[in-house]
Each structure stands twice: as structure tokens, then as C-alpha cells.
Structure 1
Amino acid sequence: MISMSLVPHQPGALGTPGAAAEFTEAWLANRRLSEHTRAAYRRDVASWLAWCHDRGLDPLRASFLDVNAYARGLEARPMAAATVARKLSGVSSWYDFLVKLNAVATNPVGGADRPHVDRDHSSTVGLTPQEVDALLSAAEQAQGPTAVRHRAVLVLLADLGLRVGELVSLDLADVSWERGHRTVRFVGKGGRARRRALTPGAALALDEYLRLRGSGEGPLFVTATGARIDRHAVFRLVRRLAKQAGIAAADRLSPHSLRHSFATSARAEGVPLEDVQDAMGHADPRTTRRYDRDRFNLDRDPAYTIAAARARRNPA
């Protein structure tokens, strides 16, 4: 339960960064969220509160006009419409909580002009199967004390299509065996506990890394100082190896590019949509379809399948 001492009933109660941060942490503690989502919400709300603070605006008195001004400022950076929409979603959730506490009468984000996001389009730069192979080859050829760890990170992203937040949140205890399968367990988006089977290649890369990492407790992937690797390090790794592999769009890639490639490759190989959806942890199959870059390929038009079945029923 949230402490009543943190409920901001008075104007100006969230006027200082310290007070706002304290309330935000109390709000997040009352949400069933994964650490990745929690961190994203924290950043989104902090960005909005910093914008308000710089303008001397009390967040409890903000209107939809203020939210509109904030959103247009984000778009002017420039920032993708989907990113702006996601940031406003986090702020909206924060205000919904304030409404429930009777700290504000209405949610100002509710009346704001949010950017339109095409559910059939993703701004993430994808990779072809051949480019994924080249990326993994670059990781395989790398030398140095971190090369084994980097190979394990890349293979898990490519073979399992994990979100970068899911990957960096893995602990040693999350790697196990279940019913003859080598597995990893993690908390996915929405706070749902999930498990995935490791491919033979992923298991091999992970075992090679674990021989150097050693056993015990704590984060699975660690830096030289023993700290958990962060998402920014993984972003830099993907782009650096992509450059070495000669991939043209290296400067625009992200770990999410490998997730998109996972979905596209799985569907191209005939994996049913619902199985890809389950593997990726998507609540809505439309999200999975958006990740499938090859979904408009005319070779996959179901008309061909229907015609072929009719020909089998009625041979000439």
C-alpha cells in the first residue's frame, strides 16, 4: 500500500524533483510490472516532471495544453511517433494513479493530442537472415576478454528474440533444465513470468561464457567489475559488430532489430503465428504481425495454398 504521507493533495506537493521521485517510486511499487517496464515508466515520468520543473509548472495543475506542448517538443527533436506515444502512455498511467488517489480531478493526458501510431508499421530497422548470420559471424571472430560474453549475448538475442531488458535482467539462477530442455526464465513485459528453451547454439555459447563467468549468484551477464551489463552496452555491441560485419544500416540498428528478425524468420520458416506470438510474449497477435517484415510477401498469399488444395482434390 502507498503511504498516505506521499499522497500529493496540495498544489506544489510534487514541485521538487525529490518529492516527485519519491512519489513515483511509491507508485511503481504498487504496480505489477517487469523491471524493464518499471525502468521505462520511471524514465518517462522523470522526463515529464523535469519538463514541468524547468517551466515552473506544478504537475498537479498541468492541463492537456501543457501535455500537447510537451509532446510537440518531443516530436521536434525529432522523435518517432511511436516513442512519443509510449512516453505519453507512461505519464498517463502515472496520472491515472493520481486520479484514483483524488490528488487530481482528471488525467490531462487523456485530452491531449497523441501522435497516431500505425499498428502495421514499426520504425525498428530489421535484419535479413543473412545479415543476422554475418553479425553472429563477426561475434564469433572477435577476440579479447569480453568476446565470449558478447557471443553469448548476441546468440540469445538472435535465437530467442528476447527484449534487451529481458536479456540484461537475467540472473545465474534463471538458467536451468526443464523436461530435457535447457531453459532460461525471466519476467517479461507486463510482469508475466516466462520461460524459453535454448537452442543448441545458444546453450553452447552460454556454457562457454559460464566457464569463464563461474558459478554462484547474481547477474548472468556481468562487466569486468562484476556489475550487471546494461542495455546501452548491448546497443553499442550490436552496432559495433554490425559495422565489422559490413551491414549498411549498422548505425541505426538496435538489439530490437534482432527481435524483429526472429519474428520474420520464424514466420518465413512456417512457424504458426500463435507460436511466434507466444515465444515473443505478445498479448496481441497484431503486434507479432507488425514484427513480421515479410508478411506482405506475395509468395505467402493464401490464395496459392487454396488453389493447390483444390488441384489436389481435382487432379487433371
Structure 2
Amino acid sequence: MSGPSSARAVLASLPRPDDVVLPGPAGDSADGAGGAGGAAVDWPGVDDPDALRALVARWLAGYGGAQTRRTYAYALGLPPQWADAVTGTPPPARDRPRTAPPPARRGRLHRLAYFRWCATHALDPRAATGTHVTTWLHALDAAGAGKRTRARMLSTVSAFYAHLVETGVIAGNPAALHRGRLGLTGTSRDPSPTVRLTAAQVRALWDAAATLPNRTAARELYARRAVAFVALLTLGLRISEVTGLDRDDLVVTGGEQVLRVRGKGGTVREVFPGDAVTGALGAYLAVRDGSTAETVPARRGQAPSGPMLATRSGGRCSRQDLYALLRRIAGHAGPELDDVADRVHPHALRHAYVTLALEAGAPIQHVQADVGHASIATTRHYDRSLRTRTSSAADLVTGLVTGPAAAPDATDPGQAG
């Protein structure tokens, strides 16, 4: 996209001020209303909101992945419509469900998204200093945001300011802070907060999915879908990758069935599902095709189109629905999951894929390619195979200090006479 007319088209398509979910000085508002009498406030603290919106639009448009744009917009406190509008044209009809998934529900930190925090303090983001950004991070900390959450939100803000520096809007990046002093640094040795699932626990989830209670007439369809969902998660896929899969992403190449998975930044990688997963997918799709007339006929030699995991009406399953489904499955998984059922989420199975693969001796480069990590350091972060009880000296030391005292040496002069 280039030229003044294209720029004007983008700006014209962006949500107007009353749609940009920002708080007014008098308090937070879900629809952009704020200030005295509930009147709509354009952008508190900003004298030229259209110019600032244009800067944000150009920055977001520089990212090729639709999901990346949506994630960044949401992290800053803007509605997801921004991420869909900045490209100036809607995505192709086939890709619209994939590139425009339902927006995430607002969490407890939404009011502290950076632009919303600035608006609450009537601060133009372009005038912010390092002190302002640090104060915002402390507010996140006080609200209970974890280290990783704060580091991720800071990275988003820093990326925006880096764009402003590159384009000459501001002289320096106020979010280029010393992360070590802020306690936001991390290494591959940091323990992951994600619950660690064993192979037996993952197997229990798979089994529980097949027997999940359901009294509706579509119970077989729902059971098959639950198994297919767990099966896909056992491949180490992100939840966004699972929801974005289409039926025709399962292809045969080189004599092997592979899944073409769209990851972060729109990159595509090939994942080998194996017989168990392809069997689960095939069983689900067979029941689904037999229970609905919504299947789009396939051209000769091609798989039917449509989402891989679908609702009863044929729509694409949302992340929220699948999160809730996995939690139900975990709660039904029996003794294997009793202690961790309330902590099981899709990323826990991605984590399990990496840790189980590394513990089984798989080369870390292969695991990195499987899960789509940009850096091998990210894969190494999951490797806790060296931090098991048998590889710890804790039992040895505890035995030395709590066991029977050693008999005194009879030749020790201190023990004589």
C-alpha cells in the first residue's frame, strides 16, 4: 500500500474516536465514553488524535501477520478492528475466519493497557518519558501482572516507540529500559510456570476426551471433536494454530501426510501428525460429514474446505470455547489429573510436547522445527529434563545432614583419653 490516496483510505476505514476503547479522565468505559456527563472523549491528553491514529495505523500495517497486528493492538488498548482495518482491504473470503478470529475477552489488566493508562493520566504517548513507562510497569506489577506479562507488554510498547524513532517522530525510545533492574530479564534457565504434564497425564486427557459426558443427540460428533482437539494439541501446536487450521491443510507430500500450520507472523511450517492424530482427525471428520449438509464439496483430488475444528453449524471454533472444552476434559480425566486439572490449558500440552520430546532424546533442532520456535533458546527454555529429583543433589545433602552421625575416628587425637 502506498500513496496519499491509500493512506486516506486506511484512515477513513479506522474506527472513529468513540469506537477506540480508551478511558476518559473520569474513569474507564467500555465504549469510549468518559469525562463529564458521559460525553465521548476523543483521546484524552492528545491534541491531534487523528495524527496519532495515523502513526499507530502505519506501525501496525508494517506487520505481515494479521494475528500479530491484532495482538499488538489489543495489548495497547485498541479494539481488534484496528488490526483488521489498517491493511485497507479485507482478507480473502477463504482466509477471513482464519485471519480474523474472535477477539480475546478483556482481562483484568485491560484497563492498564498502555494507551488506556496514558489516557487515564491525560498523557500523549508521544510525550512519554522513561519515568512514565516505568510508572506504568509498576502499576501493572501492583495489579498482579507477572514478570512475563510485564515483559511482553513492555516489548509491544517498545516496538511502537522504535517505529516512532525510525520515522523521526520522537528523538528516543522511552521504553528502552534496563530490564535487569526492573526484574524483567529471563534466561533459558528460568523455570516455566506452566504445569508439567507427564506422558501418562496426556494419555489420560486423550482418553477422557472420548468419554466426555454429553446427553445431546450429537454426542458422538462432540466426542470425536474433543479427541481430535486433544490430538492436535499433542503435536505441540499453539491454540491459535489449532483454531486456524483448515481441512485442506492436511496434505500428502513426499509420500507422508503433513499439516501445514500457520504460525506467528504468518509463517507456515509442516508438522508430521502421525497415525494416531490423523486417525483421530479422520474419525471426527467422517462423523461430521455424515451429520451435516454443510460440507463444501471438494474438487477432484482436493480435500473438502472449511475449518478443521468446527461448531455444530459449521463455523470455526473460538479459542474461548476450546479453552473451556479442555478444562472440562481435564476435570473428567480422573486420578491422573486430580492435582492439576484446574491448571491445564492448551499451552500446557505444547509444553508437554517439548519436554517429553527432549527427555526422550529428540534433537533440540528437530523439536524447534516441530513447534515453530524462532530461536532455539526458546525451545531450550522448556527443557526441564535436567531438573528432576534424580538429577538433583537435594536428597544426597538432606541424607548427610539428617542421617545417623558418623562414628568418631578412634585415631583422632581429639577423642583420646
Instruction: Quickly say closer, same or farther: Cα 1:254–1:51, change in 2 above 3 A.
Output: same
Pairing partner for 2:163 from 85, 88, 97: 97
Deviates more, 1:212-221 or 1:268-277: 212-221
Instruction: Quickly say closer, same or farther: Cα 1:225–1:28, change in 2 above 3 A.
Output: farther
Pairing partner for 1:32 from 44, 56, 64: 64
Corresponding position of 1:118: 186
Normalised TM-score (structure 1):
0.83
Corresponding position of 2:346: 255
- For structure 2, list consecutive stretches of 5 or more residues without a partner in the other structure: 12-44, 78-112, 290-294, 297-303, 393-417
Residue 220 of structure 1 and its aligned partner are, at CA, apart by 2.3
Residue 152 of structure 1 and its aligned partner are, at CA, apart by 0.8
Does residue 42 of the first structure (1) align with residue 73 of the second (2)? yes
Corresponding position of 1:69: 135
Instruction: Quickly say closer, same or farther: Cα 1:194–1:25, change in 2 above 3 A.
Output: farther
Distance 2:48 2:164 in 1: 11
With CA pairs under 8 Å and 6+ residues apart, which has the higher RCO, 1 or 2? 1
Provide, for residues 215-273 of structure 1, a one-character-per-residue CA deviation record: whole Å limited to 9, x for no partner.
Answer: 44343222234332222222222222111114212222221100111111111222111
Corresponding position of 2:369: 278
CA contact (8 A) 1:67 1:112 kept: no
Deviates more, 1:277-286 or 1:82-91: 277-286
Distance 1:227 1:105 in 2: 47
Classify the secondary structure of the residue corresponding to 1:194.
strand
Classify the secondary structure of the residue corresponding to 1:137.
helix
Paired residues in the alignment total 294
Instruction: Quickly say closer, same or farther: Cα 1:29–1:150, change in 2 above 3 A.
Output: farther
Pairing partner for 2:273 from 189, 195, 198: 198
Residue 64 of structure 1 and its aligned partner are, at CA, apart by 1.5
Distance 1:225 1:26 in 2: 37
Classify the secondary structure of the residue corresponding to 1:286.
helix
CA contact (8 A) 2:67 2:265 kept: no
CA contact (8 A) 1:15 1:58 kept: no
CA contact (8 A) 2:202 2:349 kept: yes
CA contact (8 A) 2:243 2:319 kept: yes
Corresponding position of 1:151: 227
Residue 81 of structure 1 and its aligned partner are, at CA, apart by 0.5
Residue 25 of structure 1 and its aligned partner are, at CA, apart by 4.5
| Percent of aligned pairs with the same amino acid | 34
Corresponding position of 1:243: 331
Distance 1:63 1:53 in 2: 15
Provide, for residues 88-140 of structure 1, a one-character-per-residue CA deviation record: whole Å limited to 9, x for no partner.
Answer: 11121112112222222222111365442432222222211111111111101
Provide, for residues 35-59 of structure 1, a one-character-per-residue CA deviation record: whole Å limited to 9, x for no partner.
Answer: 4433322221222112212222111
**Counting helix residues as a fraction of each chain, which structure ranks higher?**
1
Question: RMSD between aligned alpha carbons?
Answer: 2.7
Bigger radius of gyration: 2
Pairing partner for 1:173 from 226, 230, 248: 248
Letter in 2 for 1:231: R
Distance 2:306 2:48 in 1: 35
Residue 189 of structure 1 and its aligned partner are, at CA, apart by 2.4
Normalised TM-score (structure 2):
0.64
